[in-house]
């Protein structure tokens, strides 16, 4: 795990991934470890939503705090998943045909 970078606290945090970093992510999202991580993140989102739902509606301050927390956690999760989809075209990657031959077989003829 990388050390926490103080630059994360700033406003301009959009980084450009290299081809190698995209390849690493593409490999990682296909592992069971990513499935576990995704389930953990979804569970956190659900727990904050349950906490909000179970908040005493007469306690306005608690409702506002729990709403902000649920919104922040949900926003982080959805923005992370959206960024992964943008970077990797995860949907296309996961739904591609597994046994499709490349369209241009001419490049592979020498390797067979």
Residue 43 falls within a domain, yes or no? Answer: yes
d(CA 79, CA 85): 10
pLDDT of residue 109: 46
pLDDT of residue 89: 76
Residue 13 falls within a domain, yes or no? Answer: no
The number of folded domains in the chain is 1
Domain membership of residue 25 as a residue range: 19-93
Between 62 and 102, the more confident residue is 62
Residue 3 falls within a domain, yes or no? Answer: no
Residue 65 falls within a domain, yes or no? Answer: yes
Does the pTM surpass 0.85? The reply is no
In this predicted structure, the answer to whether residue 100 has a pLDDT above a threshold of 60 is: no
Residue 107 falls within a domain, yes or no? Answer: no
pLDDT of residue 23: 82
At 53-80, the pLDDT tens digits run 999 999 999 999 999 999 999 999 999 9
At 9-60, the pLDDT tens digits run 656 567 878 888 888 888 898 899 999 999 999 999 999 999 999 999 999 9
Residue 51 falls within a domain, yes or no? Answer: yes
pLDDT of residue 16: 79
């Amino acid at each position: 795990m990388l050390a926490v970078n103080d630059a994360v606290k700033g406003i301009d945090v959009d980084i450009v991934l290299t081809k190698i970093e995209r390849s690493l992510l593409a490999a990682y999202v296909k592992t069971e470890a990513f499935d576990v991580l995704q389930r953990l993140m979804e569970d956190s989102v659900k727990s904050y939503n349950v906490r909000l739902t179970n908040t005493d509606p007469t306690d306005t301050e608690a409702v506002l705090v729990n709403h902000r927390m649920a919104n922040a956690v949900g926003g982080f999760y959805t923005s992370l998943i959206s960024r992964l989809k943008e970077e990797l075209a995860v949907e296309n990657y996961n739904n591609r045909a597994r046994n499709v031959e490349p369209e241009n077989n001419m490049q592979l003829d020498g390797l067979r």
